[in-house]
Amino acid sequence: MTQEPIIRTRDLNKKFVRDEFEVDALINANLDVHRGEFIALMGPSGSGKSTLLHLVAAMDRPTSGSIEVLGQNIATLSESAIARWRNHHIGFVFQNFNLIPVLTAHENVELPLKLTHLKKGERHQHALTALKLVGLEDRTGHYPRQLSGGQEQRVAIARAIVTDPDLLLCDEPTGNLDARSAQEVLTLLARLNKEHGKTVVMVTHDPHAAHFASKIRYLEKGELLPEGEVPEEWRSAPTASDNET
Amino acid sequence: MAIPLSYNLRNLAVRRTTTVMTSLGIGLTVAVLVSVLSLVEGLSSAFQSSGHPRHVLVMRKGGGSELTSIIQRSQFLEAIKFRPTVERNAQGEPLASPELVQTVNLPSKEAPDGMNLTVRGLMPIGREMREETRLADGRWYADGRREAVVGSSVAARYPDAKMGGKFKFGRGEWVVVGVFHSDYPARNSEIWLDANQMAADFGRFEAFSSVLVRTRDEVAAQALINELETDQRLQIEALPERAYFEKQTSSGDVIKYLGTFVAIIMAIGSCFAAMNTMYAAVARRAREIGTLRVLGFSRRSILVSFFLESLFLSLLGGVVGVILVLPLNGLTTGVGSFVTFTEVAFSLRMSPGVIGAGLGFALLIGAFGGLFPASNAARKQILTALRQI
């Protein structure tokens, strides 16, 4: 790809202090993600994949290094500017769905639109469209407790895409789902990438889930391995190129 | 735009047990304050809406109250009755009423040992000057007989003062032959008799307690007051009848200060209850807070949202408090006046102002109780919040 990457990290580091110990969660990560890509970040627990995703979503600040998302150096933004930026440009999908239990599916999806200048009717229509896109137009009035895990995650995806963000960031989106629901969610993410041109960055430790991505990057002990390099233990797993063929 | 209010209202509904318990706690505090304010409002209303705008009350200088005041008959005739500022009736008689004031101790249900009540001996002109007063039951007393007509508040609260009732006063037993009702609430706590019969019983033929004078207009009233007070020979004080009644509202000050003090102590406790509830809510909904932040809601939105939730909670408590006191609205009770040393009956009055003060007090509790938890919610780091269970 020749165009400028929409995510560019250079020598990105993140250290955590646990008790008296300093832990290197991410070490000199250099990542380029281009518009329209579906990239999977893979690695075992504690490899730093979620840390990298959180830094891209500006949910955390790096210890050192640079991070540019959509041409914006997000490390320099104020708290309130980051909040606005996140609302406009990022859709985030959580492993635990994180729907607001007291709001209906429609209200959950409409929630990010409250921060836009859309009128009530427009917000309603946008939320309905997003729910239709994930195949849940008949569940608009249901509360999260009245939905299955797969349906909850699809509502969460509808909430993530309702503002038409540039980037869809997914943190283990199938981690709490059964195989069938996971398949539905992954198919949906792939469709959003292919048919709607959404750039998707997905963290997973499930090789089957990673198979849906167009590119897989591996992390090991906080280090992002160079593109194409696959750690020994993942060699038998399906690769993104399998998916492309 | 802020986090939708439905988010807060539904959360209050979801944890309904905590919501009900906390709002009940706040409600009891508000109930105490609203009760006290209703008492004070009722008392103020009884006194402040009493008195004719052109009436001037004349008493001995330094007496302070009619009970301890003495006006000599000669003073009345020579210095007060025939002043040009004094209004006259159709017959040309000056509207100046010399009056005798005493107390009688009567038992009531609330005070079986008895309470002091004002007994007022009136000449016919005195009754004429009280046109706002009318008979509610029975008849007026006959001159020269031991008969009494009692105010409606007295008849309602004292068994001996009901129609046909008898009480000992002076040298004999007096029979209640009528009940009057005055538009000036303070008058309804009095017992009225024939002044001459009362003077005979007490041997007070040459002295009265006070004189009530009606002037031609309010300017004349002030002129009369100035004339009487500047005349050093008389040694009398004069004041508008309304001011005399208003002075008696100070009788409610003790109730007001004590009640407010108790309400404030209770409010501190309620603040902690609200704070505890809100801290628990913030802890329980940490992941939701993290999610809202990820969706783009600012720290300020989170702060406002949880602060409003605390206000809703306390407002609910305020409404509960007002509802708890509502049955007491209009209930008649009495208070000892520090000016007349007698009881004045009045009704608890839950005016819009009192209800507003109660709800405002509840909101204040909610504001203090909710500020710290809301600020705690707003200060949470996104990742820390998301990791909390």
Q: Which of B14, B291, B296 sits opposite A83 (nearest CB)?
A: B296
Range of the domain at B172: 55-214
Radius of gyration over every alpha carbon of chain A, rounded to an integer in angstroms: 18
Judging by DSSP bridges, how do beta strands B55-60 and B210-214 pair with one another?
antiparallel
Q: Looking at chain A, which runs of residues are DSSP E strands?
A: 7-18, 21-33, 38-42, 64-69, 72-73, 90-93, 167-171, 199-204, 215-220, 223-224
State how far the Cα of A120 lies from the Cα of B283, in Å rounded to an integer: 31
**Which of B373, B378, B379 minimizes the C-alpha distance to B22?**
B373
Q: Which of A26, A59, A117, A143 to mutate to test the interface with B (most CBs of B within 10 A)?
A: A59
Residues B203 and B263 in one domain: no
For residues B261 and B382, membership in a common domain is answered with yes
Predicted-complex ipTM score: 0.90
The C-alpha angle A67, A69, A72, rounded to 5 degrees, equals 85
Q: How many CB atoms lie within 10 A of CB B88?
A: 13
C-alpha to C-alpha distance for B306 and B150, rounded to whole angstroms:
58
Task: Decide: helix, strand or coil at residue B79.
Answer: helix
* Assigned domain for B233 exists: no
Q: Are B26 and B317 in contact (CB under 8 A)?
A: yes
Do B27 and B324 meet the contact criterion of CB atoms below 8 Å apart?
A: yes
User: A162 to chain B: nearest residue by CA?
Assistant: B295
Q: Is position B208 within any domain? A: yes
Percent over 70 (pLDDT), chain A: 95
Structure tokens at A87: 């609302």
How many other CB atoms are found less than 10 A from the CB of residue A187? 11
Look at residue B226 and tell me if it is in a domain.
no
Task: Give residue A70's domain range.
Answer: 7-95+163-244
Q: What pLDDT is attached to residue A204?
A: 93
Does A147 map to a domain?
A: no
Q: Does B14 touch chain A (CB under 8 A)?
A: yes
What local confidence, expressed as pLDDT, does residue A244 receive?
45
Task: Examine residue B235 and state whether it is found in any structural domain, yes or no.
Answer: no
B68 and B181 assigned to the same domain: yes
Does residue B95 lie in a domain region?
Answer: yes
Please answer yes or no on whether A83 and B383 come within 8 Å at the CB atom: no
Task: Find the helix or strand (DSSP H, E) in which B101 lies.
Answer: strand B96-106
Question: What's the pLDDT band for A245 if we cut at 50, 70, 90?
Answer: very low
Same domain, B272 and B308: yes
Residue B237 lies in a domain: no
Encoded tokens for B159: 């068994």
Could you tell me the pLDDT band of residue A29, with boundaries at 50, 70 and 90? very high
Spatial distance between the Cα atoms of A99 and B368, rounded to a whole number of angstroms = 30
pLDDT recorded at residue B324: 94
pLDDT per position in chain B (389 positions), as tens?
Answer: 688 899 999 999 988 998 999 999 999 989 988 988 888 888 777 777 778 989 999 999 876 788 888 898 888 888 888 999 999 999 999 999 999 999 998 988 778 888 889 999 999 999 999 999 999 999 999 999 999 999 998 998 888 889 999 999 988 899 999 999 998 888 888 999 999 999 999 888 889 999 999 999 989 999 999 988 888 888 888 999 988 888 776 766 777 788 788 888 888 888 888 888 889 888 889 999 999 999 999 999 999 999 999 999 999 999 999 999 999 888 877 776 666 667 777 788 899 999 999 999 999 999 999 999 999 999 999 998 998 76
* Assigned domain for A114 exists: no
Chains A–B, number of C-beta pairs less than 8 Å apart:
69
Q: Which two tokens stand for residue B161?
A: 């003062």
Residues of A in Cβ contact (< 8 Å) with B295 = 86-87, 92, 111-112, 115, 159
Q: For residue B104, what are its two tokens? A: 């009688």
**Domain of residue A90, CATH code:** 3.40.50.300
Q: Is residue A123 part of a domain?
A: no
| Alpha-carbon span A201 to A192, nearest angstrom | 12
Residues of A in contact with B294 (CB under 8 A): 57, 59, 86, 92, 98
**Between A245 and A201, where is the model more confident?**
A201
Q: Could you tell me if B38 and B160 lie in one domain?
A: no
Contact residues, chain A, for B290 at CB < 8 Å: 98
Distance (Å) from the C-alpha of residue A158 to the closest C-alpha of chain B?
Answer: 12
Give the residue from A209, A181, A172 showing the smallest Cα distance to A98.
A172
Q: What is the pLDDT of residue B313?
A: 93
Residues B16 and B137 in one domain: no
Indicate the pLDDT class of residue A239, thresholds 50, 70 and 90: low
A156 inside domain: no
Pairing of strands B115-122, B190-194: parallel
Same domain as B295, residue B210 = no
Beta-bridge partners for A42? A204, A218
For the four alpha carbons of B154, B155, B159 and B162, in that order, the dihedral sign comes to positive
- When divided into structural domains, chain B yields a total of 2
Say how far apart CA A165 and CA B304 lie, in whole Å.
26
Residues B37 and B77 in one domain: no
Q: Quick check: is A240 in a domain?
A: yes
- Reported as type and span, the H/E element at residue B211 is strand B210-214
Q: Is the pLDDT of residue A70 over 60?
A: yes
Q: Do B165 and B273 sit in the same domain of this protein?
A: no
Residue A140 within any structural domain of the chain: no
- Cβ separation A102–B10 shorter than 8 A: yes
| B7/A contact by beta carbon, under 8 A | yes
Task: Verify that B195 and B329 share a domain, yes or no.
Answer: no
Instruction: Pull the structure tokens for residue B1.
Output: 């735009």
B137, part of any domain? yes
- Domain count across chain A: 1
Same domain, B71 and B206: yes
Task: Tell me, yes or no, whether B43 and B91 share the same domain.
Answer: no
> Is A124 a domain residue?
no
- Calculate what percentage of chain A has a pLDDT beyond 90: 77
Q: A39 in a domain, yes or no?
A: yes
**Contact list, B298 vs chain A (CB under 8 Å):** 79-80, 83-84
